[in-house]
Each structure stands twice: as C-alpha cells, then as structure tokens.
Amino acid sequence: MLINQTLDKMRTLHLGGMAEALEEQRRQGDIARLDFEDRLGLLIDRQWSWKENRGLETRLKNAQLKIAATLEDINYRHPRGLKRAQIEQLRVNRWLPEHRNCLITGPTGVGKTYLACALAHHACREGYTTLYYYAPKLFRALQTAQVDGSLLALLKKLRRASLLVIDDLGLASVAGKQYREFLEIIDDRQGLGATLITSQFPVEQWHEIIADATVADAILDRLVHQAYRIELKGETMRKPLPPGAETQPDPAD
C-alpha cells in the first residue's frame, strides 16, 4: 500500500520517469544487490531521460515541421551543390545561440524544405523552441490576425521562438503592407532568435519580390548580415530513379 502512495506522489510531482523506473526495480530480483546510492542514481537517470524525451516531443509538436527530417538522413550524393561541411558547420556551430540567420536558396525540387526541417529538428533536439511556417500561410495568418485583432499575440509568438523557419519566401504575391509586418517580425527577432528562410529566388532577386525598395533594403540588411548561406542548384530530386539506382534518403521540397 505504501509503495502505491509513493508512486502516486511521484506522478503528482511530475516524476513519471522515476515512478516507471521504481516499478521496474521492484520486479528485478537482483536489484537488492545494489546499494541505495546506486539505485537512486538509476532512478534519477531515468527521470532525466524521461524529461528530455517529453521536452523534445513537446518542441517538435509545437514546431509543426512539414517533414520529419533529420541531419543524419540528408542526401549528399545528388548533384545539387550541397557540401557535408556546410551542414556540419551549422550542426556544431553556435548560430542558434548567437541568433544568426540561415538562407537556403535554389530551384524547386532540390530539397530546400528537407534541409530546413532537418536543421529545425536538430534545433529541437538541442532544446531550442522552433516554429515552422510555409511563407504563403504565414502571410495569410498575418492578414487574418490583423482583421480579428490577434496580430500582437501572433507577433509575440513569432518573436519568442528560438528558431523561426519561413519556407518558400517569394512563392506567392504579397501586398506591401504585409512585407512591412514581415519587417517588424525580423526586426523584433534581432538579437533574440535565429531565422531560417528558404526561397526559390536567389537573395540578389529578393528586392524584386518585395515591391517597396525601402522595406526590401531594411529586410535584407537584417537577414543577410552574417547569415549562413546555402545556394543549391541542379535538377529536381523528384524525378524517378533509374533501375538499380540507390534510394535517396531525403525527399525533395
């Protein structure tokens, strides 16, 4: 009876990992060979792993990544100009805590979305809060929030994310007013978070996407300075593989 009360108290205190480990220990006949400190250490290790796993699940759920991608499954064989050193630099570098940006550009189908989601997944694994937005949907969300009065709440949510991923910038036509709101988002995040943007258009053409030259200058000034840039090229990865060819690990965007 006492052990049931202890387990209930552990779960009330959000010590679910320790509760699971304690129940397992009670079913192990040889556990009595370990002294108290060793058994306690095993309980604490389980609680730590349990908390880390739950935290990762929560961060991934909130991120709403489009693709379940990982850095380990990136395809470096496809001729698209992607170097392993580029991804390794982002994996081990301090671009996230230093609040630097990453810009991934290239034609449709070369895997921009996969790379963005893989980097975002890695950020979640490292403990960073992440948000993913398909660019046209982000601008629609800004427009809706402006109408229903929730714009400030949305801007606050975007500002607080450690990593904000905006996928396929420039794909849809956007009113000038919305790019001013986009500038506000980027400006609010200066020194607070990292931003990752993918686009089919080279950075040099982003001025043409953003009609207002002044707004375009301000956006590019905040995004490009000290940003990591991955410029992909080549044919789409969506083409069917020839007979006998190896299956490519990562799909195209």
Predicted confidence at residue 246, as pLDDT, reads: 47
Predicted confidence at residue 39, as pLDDT, reads: 82
Beta-strand (E) ranges in the chain? 102-105, 130-134, 163-167, 194-199, 228-231
In a domain, 112, yes or no: yes
Question: Are residue 57 and residue 101 in the same domain, yes or no?
Answer: no
In this predicted model, which residue has the larger pLDDT, 190 or 34? 190
Evaluate if residue 251 carries a pLDDT over 60.
no
Evaluate if residue 253 carries a pLDDT over 70.
no
Question: Are residue 105 and residue 21 in the same domain, yes or no?
Answer: no
The highest-confidence range among 26-30, 36-40, 178-182, 229-233, by mean pLDDT, is: 229-233
Question: Are residue 75 and residue 182 in the same domain, yes or no?
Answer: yes
Question: Are residue 106 and residue 218 in the same domain, yes or no?
Answer: yes
In a domain, 249, yes or no: no
Question: Are residue 28 and residue 139 in the same domain, yes or no?
Answer: no
Q: How far from 228 is each of 105, 161, 231, CA to CA, in Å?
A: 11, 19, 10
Strand order in the sheet with 163-167: 130-134, 163-167, 194-199, 102-105, 228-231
Token digits of residue 221: 């000034």
Residue 88 structural domain: 64-231
Instruction: At 94, give phi and psi (nearest 5°).
Output: -100, 40
Q: Give the contacts of 98 (CB within 8 A, at least 6 positions apart).
A: 194
Predicted confidence at residue 45, as pLDDT, reads: 85
Question: Are residue 168 and residue 98 in the same domain, yes or no?
Answer: yes
Asked if residues 167 and 66 have their Cβ atoms less than 8 Å apart, the reply is: yes
In a domain, 25, yes or no: yes
In a domain, 190, yes or no: yes
In this predicted model, which residue has the larger pLDDT, 138 or 212? 138
Range with lowest mean pLDDT among 64-68, 143-147, 241-245? 241-245
Looking at every residue in the chain, the average pLDDT score rounds to: 88
Percent of the chain at pLDDT exceeding 70: 93
Evaluate if residue 243 carries a pLDDT over 60.
no
Indicate the pTM of the whole model: 0.80
Question: Are residue 47 and residue 26 in the same domain, yes or no?
Answer: yes
Interval 36-43 mean pLDDT: 84
Nearest C-alpha neighbor of 166 from the set 192, 191, 199:
199
In this predicted model, which residue has the larger pLDDT, 241 or 112? 112
Evaluate if residue 77 carries a pLDDT over 70.
yes
Which CATH number fits the domain that encloses residue 215? 3.40.50.300
Q: How far apart are CA 23 and CA 204, in angstroms?
A: 60
Residue positions counted in the chain: 253
Percent of the chain at pLDDT exceeding 90: 61
Question: Are residue 72 and residue 13 in the same domain, yes or no?
Answer: no
Final residue of a structural domain among 15, 41, 62? 62
Final residue of a structural domain among 11, 31, 62? 62
Q: How far from 105 is each of 26, 158, 179, CA to CA, in Å?
A: 56, 22, 19
Question: Are residue 129 and residue 15 in the same domain, yes or no?
Answer: no
Predicted confidence at residue 247, as pLDDT, reads: 45
- Render pLDDT for 118-168 as a digit per residue (tens, 0 to 9): 999 999 999 999 999 999 999 999 999 999 999 999 999 999 999 999 999
In a domain, 236, yes or no: no
Predicted confidence at residue 18, as pLDDT, reads: 83
Question: Are residue 25 and residue 86 in the same domain, yes or no?
Answer: no
In a domain, 26, yes or no: yes
In a domain, 247, yes or no: no
Range with lowest mean pLDDT among 35-49, 81-95, 181-195? 35-49
Question: Are residue 74 and residue 11 in the same domain, yes or no?
Answer: no
The highest-confidence range among 31-35, 134-138, 172-176, by mean pLDDT, is: 134-138
Domain count, the chain: 2
Q: How far apart are CA 14 and CA 50, in angstroms?
A: 10
Range with lowest mean pLDDT among 75-84, 164-173, 211-220, 242-251? 242-251
Final residue of a structural domain among 25, 46, 62? 62
Predicted confidence at residue 234, as pLDDT, reads: 82
Question: Are residue 56 and residue 81 in the same domain, yes or no?
Answer: no
In a domain, 250, yes or no: no
